[in-house]
């Protein structure tokens, strides 16, 4: 967030602290009405407004389903047709453990 301003627009703040962000600026940074934004101050003391990247609130069931889907997808990509014991024997070598 330390890049110089490519565009500069002057706007006013209301008595409630609200500031109008011009349409071209909103479109350039991807702000969408009704969606959350993150607001903060960077290390140069500049106010920064960016679209929030937080996930929408999900229930434990939704989270479980999302994680299980990811496991199924990863499992489908990495099928070798060999069992774990066979793969471990190949990695360790044929010598028995002491």
What CATH number has the domain bearing residue 20?
2.10.260.10
pLDDT tens sequence across 31-83? 988 888 999 999 999 889 998 876 667 788 988 999 999 988 887 767 777 88
Looking at the domain assignment, is residue 47 inside a domain?
Answer: yes
CA 34 to each of CA 14, 51, 60: distance values in angstroms, whole numbers, following the listed order:
20, 11, 25
Look at the chain and report how many structural domains it folds into: 1
Looking at the domain assignment, is residue 17 inside a domain?
Answer: yes
Which residues lie across from 50 on neighbouring strands? 38
Q: DSSP character for 19?
A: B
pLDDT tens sequence across 82-93? 888 888 888 888
Owning domain of residue 31 = 7-52
Question: What count of Cα atoms within 13 Å lies in the side-chain half-sphere of residue 59?
Answer: 3
Looking at the domain assignment, is residue 25 inside a domain?
Answer: yes
Looking at the domain assignment, is residue 22 inside a domain?
Answer: yes
Looking at the domain assignment, is residue 90 inside a domain?
Answer: no
- pTM higher than 0.85, yes or no? no
Looking at the domain assignment, is residue 27 inside a domain?
Answer: yes
């Amino acid at each position: 967030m330390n890049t110089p301003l490519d565009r500069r627009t002057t706007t006013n703040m209301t008595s409630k602290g609200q500031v109008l962000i011009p349409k071209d600026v909103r479109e350039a940074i991807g702000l969408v009405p009704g969606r959350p934004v993150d607001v903060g101050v960077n290390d140069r003391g500049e106010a920064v407004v960016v679209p929030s990247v937080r996930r929408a609130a999900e229930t434990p069931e939704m989270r479980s389903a999302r994680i299980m889907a990811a496991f199924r997808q990863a499992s489908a990509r990495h099928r070798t047709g060999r069992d774990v014991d066979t793969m471990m024997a190949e990695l360790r070598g044929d010598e028995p453990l002491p």
